[in-house]
Amino acid sequence: MQITMMINSTKLLGCLIVIVLTLACLQMAFILPEGLLGGGNSIAERNEFIQNNLGLWQLGWFNWMLAALGLLTFCIMLLPFIPKSEWRVLGILLVALGIVPDIGAEVIFAFVIPYSHTIDPTLATMQTLELIAVQLTGTLGNGLYNIGGLLLNVLLLNNKRLPRKLILIGIPGWFFGFGLSISCAMQALDTAKFFTAAGMVWSTTWMFAMTIKVFTRADELKVDY
């Protein structure tokens, strides 16, 4: 009975994470781009959009903060299925470290950039903050997520009880993430949009599959060592 309750709660948590990530994808596709560097609008147009849609803008970034925490939680949920090793510790540590610059950037987007025009009406400060936030989340935070996540994904292959094809399917999603990090570092923001979309859709779909196929069978698939 207790095992069944634990499995059900893990499945529910996994589904909640997928819902948050899906909502984040939709917000990035249809709401946030108008106010983002690389979205095609001038700095004045971006500022106007943010001021006219401040509630939606901040809600969107708050959900991305939840998505970051959801990714970390999902990776923690993978740990019982990975044999213990220093590589497993390194993997989850890297993902956890990625939270710091990522959420830091999202706080800048949500709660600093919208009010930067009151300090600098020329919007030069806003442009500087945009550049800093993009590097924090897109290059640094995302880079740490994907190095750690890929490491954990590969380590799952050491658990022979897991469906091997399903584990392998997750790997390309991390490489889409690497593409995003490189694109942001090079200020190739149009390319970054492609990698963001591809990576989020691929990874979210894989997380849902893991929730349904693995987390629901935790009692028989998790490792004993």
Alpha carbon distances (Å) from 9 to 13, 21, 68, 218, 221: 6, 18, 20, 11, 16
Can you give the pTM of this predicted structure?
0.95
Number of domains in the chain: 1
Contacts of residue 105, Cβ cutoff 8 Å, sequence gap at least 6: 132, 133, 134, 136, 137, 138, 141
- State mean pLDDT over 148-170: 98
Whether the predicted pLDDT of 186 surpasses 90:
yes
| Residue of 2, 16, 37, 17 whose CA lies nearest to 193 | 37
- Please provide the average confidence, as pLDDT, over all residues in the chain: 96
Could you please report the per-residue DSSP string of 160-176?
TTS-HHHHHHHHHHHHH
Whether the predicted pLDDT of 4 surpasses 90:
no
Q: Measured in whole angstroms, how far is the alpha carbon of residue 184 from the centre of its chain?
A: 15
Contacts of residue 205, Cβ cutoff 8 Å, sequence gap at least 6: none
The percent of residues in the chain predicted with pLDDT above 90, rounded, is: 94
Whether the predicted pLDDT of 163 surpasses 70:
yes
Which residue range(s) make up the domain with 77?
2-221
- State mean pLDDT over 122-150: 98
